[in-house]
Amino acid sequence: MKRIALLTSGGDAPGMNAAIRAIVLACHYEGIVPLGYRHGFNGLLEQEYRVLETEDVYNIIQRGGTILKSARCQAFTTEQGARTAARNLDEANVDGLIIIGGDGSFHGAEHLSKYWQGKIVGLPGTIDNDINGTDATIGYYTAIDTALESIDKVRDTADAFERIFLIEVMGRHAGFIGLSAAVCSGAEQVLLPELYADAPPELEILAEHIKRAQRIRGKCSYIMVMSENLWPGGATDLAKQLQSSTGIECRPVILGHVQRGGSPVSLDRMLASKLGAYAVEALCEGKTGIMIGERNHQLVEVPFQQSWNKTKALDPYLVKIQRQIFDLVSNEKPH
Kindly tell me if the per-residue pLDDT of 80 is higher than 90: yes
Domain boundaries, the chain: 3-139+264-307, 140-260
Classify domain 140-260 at the CATH superfamily level.
Answer: Phosphofructokinase domain (3.40.50.460)
Kindly tell me if the per-residue pLDDT of 334 is higher than 60: no
Tell me what pLDDT residue 112 has.
Answer: 96
Write out pLDDT tens, residues 208-220. 888 888 777 767 7
Nearest partner of 22 among 286, 295, 298, 281, judged by Cα: 281
CATH number of this structure's domain 3-139+264-307, picked from the four choices 3.30.200.210, 3.30.70.360, 3.40.50.970, 3.40.50.450: 3.40.50.450
Kindly tell me if the per-residue pLDDT of 269 is higher than 70: yes
Tell me what pLDDT residue 161 has.
Answer: 62
Kindly tell me if the per-residue pLDDT of 199 is higher than 90: no
SS3 string of the chain?
CCEEEEEECCCCCCCHHHHHHHHHHHHHHHCCEEEEECCCHHHHHHCCEEECCHHHHCCCCCCCCCCCCCCCCCHHHCHHHHHHHHHHHHHCCCCEEEEEECHHHHHHHHHHHCCCCCEEEEEEECCCCCCCCCCCCECHHHHHHHHHHHHHHHHHHHHHHCCEEEEEECCCCCCHHHHHHHHHHCCCEEECCCCCCCCCCCHHHHHHHHHHHHHHHCCCCEEEEEECCCCCCHHHHHHHHHHHHHCCCEEEEECHHHHHCCCCCHHHHHHHHHHHHHHHHHHHCCCCCEEEEEECCEEEEEEHHHHCCCCCCCCHHHHHHHHHHHHHHHHCCCC
**Residue 92: pLDDT band with limits 50, 70, 90:** very high
**Residue 286: pLDDT band with limits 50, 70, 90:** very high
Task: Please give the model's pTM, rounded to 2 decimal places.
Answer: 0.92
Kindly tell me if the per-residue pLDDT of 160 is higher than 90: no
Kindly tell me if the per-residue pLDDT of 331 is higher than 70: no
**Residue 19: pLDDT band with limits 50, 70, 90:** very high
The residue ranking higher by pLDDT, 171 or 263, is: 263
Kindly tell me if the per-residue pLDDT of 335 is higher than 80: no
Average pLDDT over residues 220-234: 87
**Residue 124: pLDDT band with limits 50, 70, 90:** very high
Kindly tell me if the per-residue pLDDT of 319 is higher than 60: yes
Kindly tell me if the per-residue pLDDT of 297 is higher than 90: yes
Kindly tell me if the per-residue pLDDT of 66 is higher than 60: yes
Nearest partner of 72 among 24, 118, 11, judged by Cα: 11
Average pLDDT over residues 89-104: 96
**Residue 227: pLDDT band with limits 50, 70, 90:** very high
- Quick check: do 3-139+264-307 and 140-260 share a fold? yes
**Residue 180: pLDDT band with limits 50, 70, 90:** very high
Q: Cα(128)–Cα(70) distance, rounded to whole angstroms?
A: 16
Q: Tell me the pLDDT of the chain averaged across its residues.
A: 91
Best-predicted range by mean pLDDT (76-90, 210-224, 230-244, 251-265): 76-90
Q: Which distant-in-sequence residues (6+ apart) come within 8 Å of 69 by Cβ?
A: 8, 38, 39, 40
- The catalytic residues are 128
Q: Which of 5-9, 104-108, 326-330 has the lowest mean pLDDT?
A: 326-330
Tell me what pLDDT residue 106 has.
Answer: 95
